[in-house]
Amino acid sequence: MSGTPLLQVQNVSRRFGGLVAVGDVTLEVGRGEILGLIGPNGAGKSTLFGLIAGALPPSSGRILFDGHDVTSLPAPERCRRGIARTYQVVKSFDSMSVLDNVVVGALVRYPRAAQARAKALDVIEFAGLSHRATAPAGELTPPEKRRLEVARAIATEPKLLLLDEVMTGLTPAEAARGVDLVRKVRETGVTVLMVEHVMEIVMPLVDRAFVLHLGRELAHGSAQEVARNEAVISAYLGDRRRAS
Amino acid sequence: MATGLAIPQSGKDAASAFDRKRRLKLLTGLAVAAAVACLPLVVTDVYAQNIIILTLLYAALSQSWNILGGYCGQISLGHALYFGTGAYATTILYTKFGVLPWFGMIVGGVVAAAIALALGYQLFRLAGHYFSIATIVIAEAGLVLVNNWDWAGAATGIQWPFVPDSWAVLQFNPRNKLPYIYIALAFASITWLTTFSIETSRWGYWWRAVKDNADAAESLGVMIFKSKMAAAAISAFFTAIGGAFFAAFVQYIDPESVMNFQLSLLMALPAVLGGIGTLWGPAVGAAILIPLTQVTRSYLGGSGQGIDLIVYGLLVMVVALAKPEGLSSLFTSRKAPRA
Amino acid sequence: MTLQSIVQILASGLLMGLIYALIAVGLSLIFGLMDVVNFAHGEFLMLAMYASFGLVALTALDPIVLMPVIAAVLFTVGALAYVGVVRLAMRARANLGMVQIFATFGLAIVIRGVSQLLFTPDYRNVPNVWLGGRTIPVGGIYLPVPQLAGGLVSILAFLGLWLLITRTDFGKALEATREDAGAVALVGIDKNRVFTIGWGLGAALVGIAGAILSIFYYIHPDVGLPFALIAYVTVALGGFGSVFGALAAGLLVGLVEAMTATILPPSLKSIGIYGLYLLVVFVRPRGLFGSL
């Protein structure tokens, strides 16, 4: 299996009514790489994430994970196969403690709760959240919540980790710590597909970048190639102008 | 991830702290049960003993409701259906077939769990309010059907035969409430222990995850539908046991007394009051609510019609609004106060 | 069964259905506006019936004449329920769904308790009403006058509601708030004010229904529950939040109830409605006319 890419998205589209959120996207993520999925607001990045993680079915196209067709598998089964994700809008289990949040993730590999708790303790240490282990997740600061989302996903021992704008809303110092965490995760052998709106953060981190614009592929290649791409620049500048 | 199961030293400390906390909880539970067991030595008045029985019964029923409503977040307002199933199964098996109530109780529990699974198969596709309303309607439909079920006594109900004191058929001299106190205490303890042990098992984590955020739970491998089904079956089973006990205790059942909508509400309210989705919430809530309503009802009598309703309606409203975590949260110290 | 008796059943079913629709529409309106189910809806209806009873005793006028006053009383009740209870419930930080359900349930219990205390649990009825107990022959069938009047009032109320929603500024604000409560603040609509008036309006509609019901139905503190159940079923069938779905579903519920009553004994008459509801909910969880 190691010859095939870890994730293959083949001609995947997703329509909501008449609106095409993702149109005929084909991309591959190789084992052990960090692929940046970038694009302006509303480019369809989060929808594509949902399609890969199994939160919603594609209107057409196929998704292969580890060489197997997972297009029709529900989200929990994809998690069991090794796909984990975070959410752009943080979805922590607010009434549960930080530790218990992570235990939920660990249970998919360790059905015995005691083992899952041991694993979760391990993971929150790794994610730098040990000092907050017993705090209710609802009381965390926004950067801590982002960290918790990553920890929870790592606890499922994924092969592929989908990070949806984990750096958004962080101060530069916090973002730097976030980048460190992502590097650390990759060093453990996890493949990372990360959505980021802010190019300055992702570009130094990723091996390759894939640019999505209005639901379709605009460009892909190395970070430098993409950063020099005319179409990308104009899409981004246009976006900036609209935003300001 | 290759981190495996190597537990760092700090993890070991945390793990043993976790075990200590669990042991302490269990000891607290034992102490409370022991204290309640000694209560009849002090409280000898039959009327007061009746209140103790009802309080324990509702603590157990609300704990059962809490498994589905509190932990798993599926607010059922139709648990009277399961209560009635237990009461009717036991009563019919005993009065018509001579089956001992102890056995009928289990049959009722199993039937109720089966009904819960069959209904859940359809209902758990409904979200939030849609689910709650469907549970009301289904329980009400059950009430209407039993009201018209002639073989089961229809609206007149079924009277248990009068027999001398007997543990086998759960019948005792009307002045001797002790056996009922201990059976109700055992029932409350069993539901508490069940919740206690599930709370930190896989189901317990899954239930709370489903309640807090179903989308995120799903992405972490939680089987949402299965979780809800498991919670519903356990919850219905114990609720039916409560119904069976109630039937034996009052020796007469009719649809109004064991399947009324108010009963569904009364099973939920102690948990809401004491703390929904918490281990002690239902017991704390029942210990406040049941004596309070019983006492206001009897002391105010006819002149104070409705005051009991006003008191507990206000209590529920105020707690829901001002302390949504429930009153039992007043006893637990929060280690991490908001900055 | 003769054609005449079939027409008779259909006609009385439709008339009762119009009243059910009027009871349910306030519930649906409030749900559509803010995703909250008012579990005190039946108690609002009960209060309206007592308001009718009390005002009739006080003024010796007919409930039909007093209807606007009763609607105004209930408008106040609804607005106060929002400001005093629901507004606070919306702010809950923990267990939001549970808080919303049990805050209105608590309110329902309190209202019932207060009614028992003030009015005693006795059954009452409004004496000497103009329309009470009469029937008029229409094409060979007999229609009860109170239900006929009730049906007419219901149609007028729906017409008024339709005009309000489509032709007035408040209606526009209402629609906008339904669509996106967060965004309306940006265009200068006071969300709280819309919610308050929405609750008042929802309660006023059930107030009108209560005034009619008081003409031909006995009044007691627990009278609300069976009607509330029918209202939940109606709203669920029509699609939560859909005003005209409530009208269509109300008619359907009235018809099914009338037909069930001819086949089954009276004590089983609600089984038809519950069965219909379950069938629809299992097949179309969002209701027959659910607007999404």
At B180-215, the pLDDT tens digits run 999 999 999 999 999 999 999 999 999 999 999 999
Top mean pLDDT of B7-16, B236-245, B303-312 is at B236-245
Q: What is the mean pLDDT of the segment spanning C251-258? A: 94
Are residues B219 and A53, on separate chains, in Cβ contact within 8 Å? yes
Q: Please name the member of A84, A91, A117 whose beta carbon is closest to the beta carbon of B213.
A: A91
Q: Residues B286, B326: contact at Cβ < 8 Å?
A: no
Q: How far apart are CA C118 and CA C116, in angstroms?
A: 6
Tokens of C232: 């939940």
Q: Residues A31, A191: contact at Cβ < 8 Å?
A: yes
When comparing pLDDT for A204 and A121, which is higher?
Answer: A121
Q: Which chains touch B (3 or more CB pairs under 8 A)?
A: A, C
Q: Which strands form A19-29's sheet, in the order they lie side by side?
A: A19-29, A7-16, A60-65, A68-69
Q: CA of A38 to nearest chain B CA: how many angstroms apart?
A: 22
Are residues B320 and C120, on separate chains, in Cβ contact within 8 Å? no
Range of the domain at A29: 7-88+159-243
pLDDT of residue C190: 81
The phi, psi pair for B52, rounded to 5°, reads: -60, -45
Q: What tens digit of pLDDT does each residue of C92-116 get?
A: 777 777 888 899 999 999 999 999 9
Q: How far apart are CA A77 and CA C277, in angstroms?
A: 34
Q: CA of B288 to nearest chain A CA: how many angstroms apart?
A: 24
Q: Are strands A19-29 and A191-196 parallel, antiparallel or unpaired?
A: unpaired
Residue A119: partners with Cβ closer than 8 Å, 6 or more residues away: A106, A109, A110, A155, B3, B5
Tokens of B132: 């709650």
Each domain of chain B, given as residue ranges in start order, spans 45-329
Are residues B317 and C92, on separate chains, in Cβ contact within 8 Å? no
Q: How far apart are CA C39 and CA C106, in angstroms?
A: 9
Domain count, chain A: 1
pLDDT of residue B62: 97
Q: Residues B285, B273: contact at Cβ < 8 Å?
A: yes
- Other C-beta atoms closer than 10 Å to the C-beta of B164 total 8
Mutation site for C-interface testing, chosen from B316, B323, B332 by largest number of C Cβ within 10 Å: B316
Q: What is the mean pLDDT of the segment spanning C188-205? A: 90
Q: Residue C287: which region, alpha, beta or left (left: phi > 0; alpha: psi -120 to 50)?
A: left
- A121 within domain boundaries: no
* Nearest C-alpha neighbor of B81 from the set C274, A243, A226, C194: C274
DSSP-H helix ranges across B251-338? 255-259, 261-274, 281-300, 307-322
Mutation site for A-interface testing, chosen from B1, B20, B325, B338 by largest number of A Cβ within 10 Å: B1
Place of tokens 């197997």: A68
User: Model pTM greater than 0.80?
Assistant: yes
Query: What's the CATH number where A222 sits?
Result: 3.40.50.300
Strand runs (DSSP E) across B61-105, as ranges?
none
Identify the band that residue A239 occupies on the pLDDT scale cut at 50, 70 and 90: low
* Nearest C-alpha neighbor of C126 from the set C112, C142, C146, C155: C146
Q: Which residue of B has its CA nearest to C284?
A: B126
Are residues C93 and A138, on separate chains, in Cβ contact within 8 Å? yes
- A16 within domain boundaries: yes
Q: What is the mean pLDDT of the segment spanning A78-83? A: 96
pLDDT of residue B1: 42
Q: What tens digit of pLDDT does each residue of A148-203 get?
A: 999 999 999 999 999 998 888 788 888 888 888 899 999 999 999 998 877 777 78
The proportion of chain A whose per-residue pLDDT surpasses 90, expressed as a percent, equals 59
Range of weakest confidence among B121-125, B128-132, B202-206? B128-132
Identify the band that residue B332 occupies on the pLDDT scale cut at 50, 70 and 90: low
Q: Please name the member of B2, B204, B221 whose beta carbon is closest to the beta carbon of A79.
A: B221
Identify the band that residue A243 occupies on the pLDDT scale cut at 50, 70 and 90: very low
Kindly report the average pLDDT of chain B as a whole number.
Answer: 89
Amino acid at C149: A
Which residues on chain C are in Cβ contact (under 8 Å) with B125? 285
Q: How far apart are CA A114 and CA C116, in angstroms?
A: 53
Q: How far apart are CA B167 and CA B165, in angstroms?
A: 7
Q: Which chains touch A (3 or more CB pairs under 8 A)?
A: B, C
Place of tokens 């007919």: C62
Q: Please name the member of A107, A115, A154 whose beta carbon is closest to the beta carbon of B205.
A: A107
Helix (H) or strand (E) holding A125: helix A113-126
In this predicted complex, what is the ipTM? 0.90
Is residue B3 pLDDT above 50, yes or no? no
Q: What tens digit of pLDDT does each residue of B273-292 get?
A: 999 999 999 999 999 999 98
Q: CA of C65 to nearest chain B CA: how many angstroms apart?
A: 31
Q: Residues B237, A102: contact at Cβ < 8 Å?
A: no
- A133 within domain boundaries: no
- Degrees to nearest 5, angle at CA B142 with B139 and B148: 150
- CB of C93 within 8 Å of a chain A CB? The answer is yes
Q: Please name the member of B7, B8, B218 whose beta carbon is closest to the beta carbon of A75.
A: B218
Q: Residues A63, A8: contact at Cβ < 8 Å?
A: yes
- Chain center to CA of B228: 16
Q: How far apart are CA B95 and CA B79, in angstroms?
A: 24
- A163 within domain boundaries: yes
Q: Is C49 exposed, middle or buried (0-12, 13-18, 19+ CB in 10 A)?
A: buried
User: Which of B:138-197 have CB within 8 Å of C?
Assistant: 138, 140-141, 144-145, 147-148, 155
Q: Which residue of C has its CA nearest to A139?
A: C93
Between the CA of residue B244 and those of A208, B85, B186, C70, C145, what are the distances in Å? 66, 8, 14, 46, 48
Q: How far apart are CA B169 and CA B175, in angstroms?
A: 17
Q: In degrees to the nearest 10, what's the CA dihedral of B209, B210, B213, B219? A: 80
- A149 within domain boundaries: no
- CB of C279 within 8 Å of a chain B CB? The answer is no
Q: What is the mean pLDDT of the segment spanning A205-220? A: 88
- CB of C267 within 8 Å of a chain B CB? The answer is yes
Q: Are strands A7-16 and A83-85 parallel, antiparallel or unpaired?
A: unpaired
Which residues on chain C are in Cβ contact (under 8 Å) with B303? none
* Nearest C-alpha neighbor of B244 from the set B27, B31, B60: B60
Query: Which contacts of A2-5 are long-range, i.e. CB under 8 A and separated by 24 or more positions?
Result: A2/A31, A4/A64, A4/A66, A4/A67, A5/A29, A5/A30, A5/A31
pLDDT of residue B10: 55
Tokens of B208: 């709370």
Identify the band that residue A237 occupies on the pLDDT scale cut at 50, 70 and 90: low
Q: Residues B200, B62: contact at Cβ < 8 Å?
A: no
Q: For residue A84, what are the β-bridge partners? A: A161
Which residues on chain A are in Cβ contact (under 8 Å) with B220? 76, 79, 84, 104-105, 108, 152-153, 156
Q: Residues C31, C271: contact at Cβ < 8 Å?
A: no
Q: What is the mean pLDDT of the segment spanning C105-134? A: 87
Is residue C291 pLDDT above 60, yes or no? no
Is residue A95 pLDDT above 50, yes or no? yes
Between the CA of residue A83 and those of A108, C207, C214, what are the distances in Å? 12, 55, 62
Q: What is the mean pLDDT of the segment spanning A50-60? A: 93
Domains in chain C, ordered, with CATH?
3-283 (1.10.3470)
Q: Please name the member of B2, B11, B217 whose beta carbon is closest to the beta carbon of A118.
A: B11
Between the CA of residue C168 and those of C75, C161, C163, C164, what are the distances in Å? 18, 10, 7, 5
DSSP-H helix ranges across C120-268? 145-167, 169-179, 181-184, 191-216, 224-238, 243-263
Which residues on chain A are in Cβ contact (under 8 Å) with B208? 93, 95-96, 100, 104
Query: Which contacts of C73-76 are long-range, i.e. CB under 8 A and separated by 24 or more positions?
Result: C73/C47, C73/C48, C73/C207, C74/C44, C74/C47, C74/C48, C74/C203, C74/C204, C74/C206, C74/C207, C74/C210, C75/C200, C75/C201, C75/C203, C75/C204, C75/C207, C76/C200
Q: What is the mean pLDDT of the segment spanning B125-131? A: 83
Q: How far apart are CA A165 and CA A74, in angstroms?
A: 23
- CB of C94 within 8 Å of a chain A CB? The answer is yes
Are residues C89 and B321, on separate chains, in Cβ contact within 8 Å? yes
Which residues on chain C are in Cβ contact (under 8 Å) with A95? 94-95
Q: Please name the member of B132, B144, B321 whose beta carbon is closest to the beta carbon of C88.
A: B321
Q: How far apart are CA B122 and CA C242, in angstroms?
A: 23
Q: CA of A164 to nearest chain B CA: how many angstroms apart?
A: 13
The CATH architecture annotation of domain B45-329 reads Orthogonal Bundle (1.10)
Q: What is the mean pLDDT of the segment spanning B310-333? A: 82
Tokens of A227: 């950063």
User: Which of B:273-332 have CB within 8 Å of C?
Assistant: 276-277, 304-318, 320-321, 324-325
Tokens of A126: 């790794």
Q: Residues A115, B5: contact at Cβ < 8 Å?
A: yes
Q: Residues B75, B132: contact at Cβ < 8 Å?
A: yes
The phi, psi pair for A11, rounded to 5°, reads: 50, 45
- CB of C237 within 8 Å of a chain B CB? The answer is no
* Nearest C-alpha neighbor of C204 from the set C82, C68, C85: C68
